[in-house]
C-alpha cells in the first residue's frame, strides 16, 4: 500500500514540474511579444534644465531668471521595452542658453533628454506642454550680507549661552538686482534643549531674511556657500565671594583683623574648566602695617578675560578693622645705614608703634631701631629721602605703623 502511494506522489511531482515549466514558457513568450509593442505614455512634472547656464554666468556675468515654468508635460511613443519603465524624473526638458551673449527676454523651445540606457530607435516625442519656455537673461549682481546666529532652545539652570559665533560671518549672494534688494541678512537657527556645554563647531544651513526678519527664498539667487560653521558658547554661572589678600605685620594678623567687603560676592560666567576650581575672587591686597586701627578703600573688580561679570558691579568697598591692639608714639634715635655710605642728616624720628596692650606698656624708644638701605643709591649724589625699615626689638607682636623715611646725603661715588 505504501509503495503505491509513494509512486503516485512521485508521478504527481513530475506532473507539476512539467506544468510549471510550461507556464513559465508561455509567460516568457507573452512578455517577449509585448516588449516590442509600441505604446504611448504621458509624463508630467518633467524638470526643466538650462544647459550652459553656469558658463553663461562665469564667462559673461549673465544669469537666467523668471522662467515661466519649472516643469513640463510630454507625451512619448515607443516600444514597451524602451519607455515602459521610465518615470518623469528620468527625463529632462533641456533649454540651451550657451549661445546667449546679452541681456534679453527669451521664448525658446526645448528638447527632451532621455537616460543613456534608453534605446532611442523608434522613440518619439509626440507632444510637449507647453511647447516653449519663457525666461529672462539679466546681468548678475552681488551683495554681501551678515550671517546671524540665533539660539532657539533652552539652557540648563546655572549656565549662560553667549552670542553665537558664525564663521564666516558674512556670505556673498549672486543674482538679479531686484531679487537681491529683498535680502537684508542671513540667519542660522540652533535648537538644543537643556544645554550645559558649548555646542560645536557644527556645520549648518542658513536662511535668508528680509528687513522685517521674515524668511524669504528669492528666485535665481545663489550664495558663495551653502553652509557655515557655528559655535554656541555655553558658560557656567557661579557666585564667587570677594576677598582681599592681607600683608600681616606690626602685630596685626588675619586672626585679629575684621574684613568687610560690599558687595560680598558677585555672580560670574565662564568656562566650566575655569570656574570649577574657583571658590573666591581676590580683588586686591591690604597692607596691615599701613594703618593703625581702621582702613577703608575701594577696589576695582577686575576679571580675567575668560570670565564675565553677570552682576555688573565694577567696584567693591573694603573696610578693615584691627582689634586687640593699641598704639603709641615713640621718638627713636637708633638710626643706621646699610648697603652703602652716606651722611645721615636725620638724628631722630617719631614712630607710631602698635602692639598688644601688655607689650605696649613695656616698649620704649630704646626698643625701636631704624635702618636705611642704600643699596639702590650707589650712583646717587646729594641729599635724598631714603625709605627705612623699623624694628621693635624684643617684641615679636609689635611693629611700626605707616611708612617712614630719613634724610641722607650721598656722594654718588661708584665702587
Give the model's confidence band at 12: pLDDT under 50 very low, under 70 low, under 90 confident, else very high: low
- On the question of a cis peptide bond just before residue 198, with omega within 30 degrees of 0, the verdict is no
Task: Tell me how far apart the alpha carbons of residues 60 and 54 are, in angstroms, rounded to a whole number.
Answer: 10
Residue 27, pLDDT above cutoff 60: no
pLDDT value at residue 60:
86
Type and span of the H or E element at 413: none
Please give the full DSSP string across 334-348, using - where no structure is assigned.
-EEEESS--EE----
- Our measurement of the distance from residue 282's CA atom to the centroid of its chain's CA atoms, rounded to an integer in Å, reads 29
- Matching residue, cell 624694628: 391
Q: Answer yes or no: are the C-beta atoms of 337 and 372 closer than 8 Å.
A: yes
- Matching residue, cell 614712630: 351
CA distances from 178 to 97, 100, 118, 138, 172 (A): 22, 21, 42, 11, 16
- Our measurement of the distance from residue 56's CA atom to the centroid of its chain's CA atoms, rounded to an integer in Å, reads 39
Give the model confidence (pLDDT) of 92-111 as tens digits: 999 999 888 888 899 999 99
Task: Tell me how far apart the alpha carbons of residues 135 and 64 are, in angstroms, rounded to a whole number.
Answer: 7
Give the model's confidence band at 306: pLDDT under 50 very low, under 70 low, under 90 confident, else very high: confident
Q: What are phi and psi of 311, to 5 degrees?
A: -70, -35
Give the model confidence (pLDDT) of 324-371 as tens digits: 999 999 999 999 999 999 999 999 999 999 999 999 999 999 999 999
Helix, strand and coil percent figures for the chain, each rounded to 5: 20, 50, 30
pLDDT value at residue 34:
54
- Per cent of the chain over pLDDT 90 is 68
- Per cent of the chain over pLDDT 70 is 92
Give the model confidence (pLDDT) of 122-174 as tens digits: 899 999 999 999 998 988 888 999 999 999 999 999 998 989 999 999 999 98
Task: Tell me how far apart the alpha carbons of residues 147 and 167 are, in angstroms, rounded to a whole number.
Answer: 9
Give the model confidence (pLDDT) of 106-123 as tens digits: 999 999 999 998 888 889
Return the higher-pLDDT residue of 277 and 6. Answer: 277
Side-chain-facing half-sphere of 372: CA atoms under 13 Å: 26
Question: Which of 186-195, 277-286, 404-413 has the weakest average pLDDT?
Answer: 404-413
Q: Which grid coordinates are listed for 9? A: 506522489
Residue 413, pLDDT above cutoff 70: no
Secondary structure of residue 237 in the 3-state scheme: strand
Residue 339 Rama label (left phi>0; alpha psi -120 to 50; beta): left
Task: Tell me how far apart the alpha carbons of residues 259 and 283 are, in angstroms, rounded to a whole number.
Answer: 13
| Mean pLDDT confidence for 380-402 | 94
Contacts of 355 (CB under 8 A, 6+ apart): 250, 251, 325, 326, 363, 392, 395, 397, 398, 399
Residue 198, pLDDT above cutoff 80: yes
Task: Tell me how far apart the alpha carbons of residues 161 and 154 are, in angstroms, rounded to a whole number.
Answer: 9
pLDDT value at residue 16:
65
Put the strands of the sheet holding 257-262 in their side by side order.
257-262, 315-322, 294-300
Q: Is the pTM of this model over 0.75?
A: no
pLDDT value at residue 354:
95
Task: Tell me how far apart the alpha carbons of residues 371 and 102 are, in angstroms, rounded to a whole number.
Answer: 95
Strand locations in 176-293 (E): 185-190, 199-205, 207-209, 215-216, 222-223, 227-232, 234-247, 257-262, 265-270, 281-287
pLDDT value at residue 5:
52
Amino acid at each position: 500500500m505504501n509503495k503505491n502511494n509513494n509512486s503516485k506522489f512521485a508521478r504527481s511531482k513530475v506532473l507539476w514540474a512539467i506544468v510549471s515549466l510550461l507556464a513559465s514558457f508561455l509567460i516568457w513568450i507573452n512578455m517577449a511579444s509585448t516588449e516590442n509593442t509600441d505604446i504611448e505614455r504621458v509624463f508630467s512634472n518633467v524638470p526643466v534644465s538650462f544647459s550652459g547656464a553656469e558658463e553663461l554666468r562665469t564667462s559673461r556675468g549673465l544669469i537666467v531668471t523668471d522662467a515661466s515654468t519649472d516643469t513640463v508635460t510630454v507625451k512619448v511613443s515607443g516600444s514597451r521595452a524602451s519607455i515602459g519603465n521610465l518615470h518623469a524624473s528620468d527625463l529632462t526638458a533641456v533649454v540651451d542658453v550657451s549661445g546667449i551673449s546679452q541681456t534679453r527676454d527669451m521664448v525658446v523651445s526645448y528638447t527632451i533628454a532621455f537616460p543613456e540606457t534608453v534605446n532611442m530607435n523608434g522613440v518619439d516625442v509626440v507632444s510637449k506642454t507647453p511647447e516653449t519656455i519663457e525666461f529672462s537673461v539679466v546681468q548678475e549682481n552681488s551683495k554681501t550680507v551678515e550671517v546671524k546666529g540665533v539660539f532657539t532652545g533652552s539652557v540648563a539652570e546655572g549656565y549662560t549661552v553667549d552670542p553665537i559665533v558664525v564663521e564666516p560671518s558674512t556670505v556673498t549672494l549672486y543674482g538679479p538686482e531686484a531679487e537681491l534688494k529683498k535680502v537684508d541678512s542671513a540667519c542660522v537657527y540652533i535648537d538644543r534643549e537643556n544645554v550645559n556645554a558649548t555646542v560645536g563647531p557644527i556645520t549648518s544651513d542658513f536662511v535668508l531674511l528680509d528687513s522685517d526678519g521674515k524668511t524669504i527664498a528669492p528666485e535665481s539667487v545663489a550664495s558663495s556657500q551653502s553652509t557655515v560653521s557655528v559655535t554656541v558658547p555655553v558658560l557656567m554661572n557661579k557666585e564667587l565671594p570677594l576677598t582681599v589678600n592681607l600683608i600681616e605685620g606690626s602685630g596685626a594678623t588675619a586672626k585679629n583683623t575684621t574684613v568687610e567687603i560690599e558687595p560680598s560676592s558677585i555672580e560670574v560666567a565662564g568656562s566650566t574648566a575655569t570656574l570649577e576650581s574657583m571658590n573666591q575672587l581676590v580683588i586686591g591686597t591690604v597692607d596691615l602695617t599701613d594703618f593703625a586701627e581702621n582702613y577703608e578703600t575701594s577696589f576695582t573688580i577686575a576679571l580675567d578675560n575668560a570670565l564675565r561679570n553677570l552682576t555688573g558691579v565694577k567696584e567693591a568697598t573694603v573696610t578693615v578693622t584691627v582689634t586687640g591692639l593699641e598704639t603709641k608714639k615713640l621718638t627713636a634715635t637708633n638710626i643706621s645705614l646699610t648697603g652703602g655710605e652716606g651722611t645721615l642728616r636725620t638724628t631722630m624720628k617719631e614712630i607710631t608703634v602698635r602692639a598688644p596692650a601688655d607689650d605696649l606698656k613695656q616698649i620704649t624708644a630704646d626698643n625701636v631701631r631704624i635702618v636705611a638701605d642704600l643699596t639702590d643709591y650707589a650712583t646717587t649724589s646729594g641729599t635724598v629721602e631714603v625709605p627705612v625699615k623699623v624694628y621693635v626689638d624684643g617684641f615679636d607682636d609689635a611693629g611700626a605703623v605707616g611708612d617712614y623715611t630719613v634724610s641722607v646725603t650721598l656722594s654718588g661715588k661708584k665702587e
